[in-house]
């Protein structure tokens, strides 16, 4: 079972169904901010929607097709970091993340992503990890840049969020580059 201590008092661990009310509560409180960037926010209107996401994530993890981990600061849920479904044919995956506003600006999401990226290369032996984020989401773009990802281009109007299409930056990291950066 995936678990990673990323710094003192901050841990990543697989989401469990029992976490659904707490996670939904944070999403609900952060709704105005999160809906600006994430298409799933307005579709998550009840604890059951969060529980369904967790069930799907656990099935994905059990099938070795990816994972979704919660970020806990002490006993408080702070956000998530996870993967989309692994593309085993091409040995690559895309990661995604979000964190509650009260935990932003502390490097937590960068550390959480670093831990997940390390896991993807070490445990799954992938060759490539991608981050796609809105070109106007400077905080998210900064995470990829701090981690040493290379900007590879823009997917125009690639994500529908609410009623608007967002252009997405594509950032890539190769296993060989991660090894050099992680020394």
What mean pLDDT comes out for the span 99-128?
96
What are the pLDDT digits (tens) for 42-82?
A: 999 999 999 999 999 999 999 999 999 999 999 999 999 99
Average pLDDT on 120-146 reads 97
Number of domains in the chain: 1
Average pLDDT, the chain: 95
Instruction: Write down the pLDDT at residue 3.
Output: 85
**pLDDT grade for 183, boundaries at 50, 70 and 90:** low
CATH of the domain at 7: 3.40.630.30
Q: How far apart are CA 26 and CA 23, in angstroms?
A: 5
- Mean pLDDT (whole number) for 144-161: 97
Using the predicted structure, report yes or no on whether residue 174 has a pLDDT greater than 80: yes
Domain that holds residue 39: 3-181
> Is residue 80 within 8 Å of 90, Cβ to Cβ?
no
Provide the pLDDT for residue 31.
95
């Amino acid at each position: 079972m995936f678990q990673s201590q990323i710094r003192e008092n901050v841990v990543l661990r697989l989401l469990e169904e029992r976490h659904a009310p707490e996670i939904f509560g944070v999403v609900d409180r952060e709704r105005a901010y999160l809906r600006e960037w994430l298409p799933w926010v307005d579709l998550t209107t009840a604890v059951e929607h969060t529980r369904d996401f967790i069930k799907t994530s656990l099935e994905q993890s059990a099938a070795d097709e990816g994972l979704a981990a919660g970020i806990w600061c002490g006993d408080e849920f702070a956000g998530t970091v996870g993967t989309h479904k692994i593309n085993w044919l091409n040995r690559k995956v895309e990661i995604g993340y979000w964190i509650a506003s009260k935990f932003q600006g502390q490097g937590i999401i960068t550390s959480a992503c670093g831990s997940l990226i390390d896991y993807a290369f070490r445990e799954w032996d992938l060759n490539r990890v991608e981050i796609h984020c809105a070109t106007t989401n400077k905080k998210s773009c900064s995470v990829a840049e701090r981690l040493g990802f290379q900007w590879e281009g823009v997917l125009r109007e690639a994500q529908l969020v609410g009623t608007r299409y967002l252009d997405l930056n594509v950032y890539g990291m190769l296993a060989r580059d991660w090894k050099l950066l992680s020394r």
